[in-house]
Amino acid sequence: MPVQAILKYPHPILKKLSHRVEQIDQNVLGLIQDLVDTMQAGPGSVGVAAPQIGVSMRVCVVDVSGNRHGRDNNHGLLCMINPEITLRGGKIAVMREGCMSVPDYTGDVERATEITVQFSEPDGNRREISASGFEAVAIQHEMDHLDGILFLDRIVSIKTGLFRRKNY
C-alpha cells in the first residue's frame, strides 16, 4: 500500500473524535497497512493514527523498537483497533514529544509511565498488553489522536514547554 500524506495542524479532522470500527474488513486491513507504511516512511516516526491520514476511525499503529528510547522495552509492531487504556500507573513523567502533524514544534507533555491497553488485532483477536516507558508514552500519544487531542493540548506550560524544532 502507498505511503499516505500526513495532515497538518490545524486540519479539522485532527480535532474530531474518531468512530469505532464495527467490523474488520478489507478496508480496515488496507488502512492498517497504509498506517504501517506511512509510519515506516516518516522521519523518526514511532506511530501513526488514522486521523493523521484523514480517516476518522479508531485505528493506530505503534512500533518503538527502532528508536533508541524504546529499543530495549517494546512489544514490536502494534496494530491497534479500538484501543482502550484500562489502567494508568507508574509515575507521571514529563517527556518531550513531537508529531508529524505538528512538524515545526516539540513540547513537554506529562504522561503515565505504565499503562495497560486492550485492543483488537487485525485478525480480530482481542489483546491486552502492559506497556511502560517510551512505548507507553507513544501509545498514549497515538490514542490521543483518536480523541481529537494533539500533544499541543497537553503541553505542561505554553511559556516554557513548547519548542521550535531545529530540523525534521
pLDDT band at 166 (very low <50, low <70, confident <90, very high): confident
Which positions are catalytic?
142
6 within some domain = no
27 within some domain = yes
4 within some domain = no
109 within some domain = yes
Domain count, the chain: 1
Average pLDDT score, the chain: 96
87 within some domain = yes
- For residue 110, give its domain range: 12-164
74 within some domain = yes
5 within some domain = no
For residues 111 and 8, give the distance between their C-alpha atoms in angstroms, rounded to a whole number. 23
Q: What are the pLDDT digits (tens) for 30-49? A: 999 999 999 999 989 999 99
1 pLDDT higher than 90:
no
- What DSSP character marks residue 155? B
168 pLDDT higher than 60:
no
For residues 128 and 126, give the distance between their C-alpha atoms in angstroms, rounded to a whole number. 7
User: Would the CA dihedral through 61, 62, 63, 67 be positive or negative?
Assistant: positive
Q: What CATH number is given to the structural domain containing 58? A: 3.90.45.10
Average pLDDT over residues 103-118: 97
Q: What are the pLDDT digits (tens) for 15-32? A: 999 999 999 999 999 999
What percent of the chain has a predicted confidence (pLDDT) above 70?
98
| pTM for the whole structure | 0.96
